Amino acid sequence: MPDFLTVPLTEGLAIAPLEVMTRLVLALALGGVVAWIYRRTRGVDGFSATFPPTLVLLAVLIAMVTQVIGDNVARAFSLVGALSIVRFRTVVRDTQDTAYVIFAVVVGMAVGAHDPWVAVIGIGVVSAAAFLMRARSGGAQGPVPLDTSFRLKLRIATGQELNGAIGAAIDQAAANRRLVSVSTAKQGTSLNVTYDIRFQPGAAPEHLVRALNRIEGVQDVDIVARDDGEGLA
């Protein structure tokens, strides 16, 4: 039997408590930097209010886990088994959000593994890339003409109320809306809902898409401009 399988999990790590505290505080600080970069590069309407604090907590927790594991492979397998029972209902819908989750995880891992310079240099490079890409993309597309009608297509869970959080999010961005159709999908587990909408002054389609995606139960959002001369009067 390999030696690493016989190493007891109670074997302690040779890390002084003060050093553990130092690493966790550093992970907290660098996680805060990751969250700040996220807020600055994603825009005011581009994120959920709970996402930046989650990035900070991820960095600290991963730093803790990395110190617990150390070089003990048996402990690593045990932690994987213990954490596999956790289920997350919230889906990260934006690929950039997924990148920032990985960013926070890697920063926490580097600090926990006593390689803080990897985290510091990585933050510098990634933040430069994030700000550069934001500048090249020109930010949000901005408001649309007031006389433009759009068709909003949603796929939602059957338990969702159209006049609840979904309706409130639409009404916040749209001057008016008209329900066009409702149909079942995925063998009755989802609903396809279609609206004709016209945006309020200063509103933009991408803001509505992000707001709807943050609502639990919303599975898909699609907004297209109508060019057939129909829609809202």
pLDDT in tens, 203-223: 778 888 888 888 888 888 888
Q: Is the pLDDT of residue 156 over 60?
A: yes
Who wins on pLDDT, 80 or 125? 125
Question: What is the model's pLDDT at position 6?
Answer: 46
User: Dihedral through CA 160, CA 161, CA 165, CA 169, nearest 10?
Assistant: 100
Q: Is the pLDDT of residue 2 over 50?
A: no
Rounded CA-CA distance 205/195 in Å is: 14
**How many beta carbons lie within 10 A of that of residue 4, not counting itself?**
13
Rounded CA-CA distance 180/191 in Å is: 13
pTM (whole model) above 0.75: no
Question: What is the model's pLDDT at position 7?
Answer: 46
Work out the average pLDDT over 174-188: 87
Question: What is the model's pLDDT at position 29?
Answer: 95
Greatest distance between any 2 Cα atoms in the chain: 77
Rounded CA-CA distance 213/99 in Å is: 17
DSSP annotation of 190 reads E
Question: What is the model's pLDDT at position 30?
Answer: 94
Q: Which residues contact 165 (CB under 8 A, 6 or more apart)?
A: 215
Classified as helix, coil or strand, 176 is strand
Q: What domains appear along the chain, each with residue ranges and CATH number?
A: 3-137 (no CATH), 150-225 (3.30.70.260)
Token readout for 70 is 């150390």
Token readout for 167 is 């309706």
Work out the average pLDDT over 2-6: 45
- The whole-angstrom distance between residue 127's C-alpha and the CA centroid of its chain comes to 17
Question: What is the model's pLDDT at position 83?
Answer: 60
Token readout for 166 is 């979904």
Question: What is the model's pLDDT at position 175?
Answer: 86
Q: Is the pLDDT of residue 165 over 60?
A: yes
User: Over the stretch 15-71, which tens digit does the pLDDT of each residue have?
Assistant: 688 888 999 999 999 999 999 998 888 765 555 677 888 899 989 998 988 888 876
Q: Is the pLDDT of residue 172 over 80?
A: yes
User: Over the stretch 64-105, which tens digit does the pLDDT of each residue have?
Assistant: 888 888 767 766 776 666 566 555 555 555 677 888 888 998
Q: Which amino acid is at 129?
A: A
Instruction: Assign 230 a pLDDT band (cuts: 50, 70, 90).
Output: low
The answer to whether the beta carbons of residues 23 and 70 sit under 8 Å apart is no
Q: Is the pLDDT of residue 126 over 50?
A: yes
- Beta-bridged to residue 155, according to DSSP, are 192, 220
Work out the average pLDDT over 167-193: 88
